[in-house]
Amino acid sequence: MKIVFAEEGDKLGGFVSVSGWLRGGGNITGTRSGTKFRFNTTDHTGQIIKWQGDVQNGKLSGEYYIDAQGGIPQQNGEWSVTPEGSIKAGAPCDANVTLSLLKMVLETSLNDPVKQADGTFISGAQDLFKSIHPAGAGISIWVESLDVDWKDDTQSRCYEDIHKFRLNCVIYWQGILRLTGTTKLRFAYNIKLNAVTSAEIVESTGTTNKDVNKALLGVGSFLGDAAIKGLLGGK
């Protein structure tokens, strides 16, 4: 999971992204009192997750609770994250914070619901999965790593200073012949050109479609555009 917190007084905002074999996440509403965090998230299906956690030894960890709904039983579990950086409003940009936010925007853009031709919506993971594989269901997309080239003419490390980036991500999916599987993808995006320069399947545990390269380039173009608009627009 990935979390971005925005704090004003004791109020918490931000976003949680959940990937792997789990679903959930969404916008944050909650509070912080000292080292104690309490907040809720609501995903695009309406599922509400209640989170609570405490900061100890440099980590934020605790428990989550999901009430029974829609035939799904009550679920409880543990969670833990390690801070990657923070910045105060008006302070100079920090490279670690910029990269962390870019990874979050890329991941949430990939997992955002996608409208189909018939007007219905499916998850971003399913939309990307069906463009690559002939059968099965995409569960979630995890941004594994991100590598950035900064513009040569600036010492700043804000979003506007990114020249291009390379992204490795993993689709977690369920299949028919294979119950669970993963597909690892790599994209390269040049912001100056506003274009994807490469898109490829690195490895997959399942069968892929024949004409998959064209589909990946289309997804990559949307991904790069959505990420930059999201960052510059303060998503």
Which residue type sits at 219?
Answer: V
Q: CB of 181 within 8 A of CB of 204?
A: yes
Q: What is the pLDDT of residue 235?
A: 44
208-214: list long-range contacts, CB under 8 Å, 24+ apart. Answer: 208/132, 208/133, 208/183, 209/131, 209/132, 209/133, 209/134, 212/131, 212/132
CB-based contact 20:2 (threshold 8 Å): no
Q: What is the pLDDT of residue 154?
A: 85
Tokens (6 digits) for 51: 């989170």
- Residues 17-73 have pLDDT tens digits of 999 988 888 889 999 999 999 999 988 778 899 999 999 999 999 999 998 877 778
User: How confident is the model at residue 184, as a pLDDT?
Assistant: 95
The Cα 50–Cα 4 span in angstroms is: 16
Please state, in angstroms and as integers, the Cα–Cα distance from residue 224 to each residue in 24, 131, 229, following that order.
24, 18, 9
pLDDT of residue 149: 95
pLDDT computed for residue 228 by the predictor: 57
> What's the rounded Cα separation, in Å, for the pair 63 and 1?
13
Residue ranges of the chain whose pLDDT lies below 50: 235
What is the reported pLDDT for 230? 59
Q: What is residue 107's three-state secondary structure?
A: helix
Q: Can you give the pTM of this predicted structure?
A: 0.84
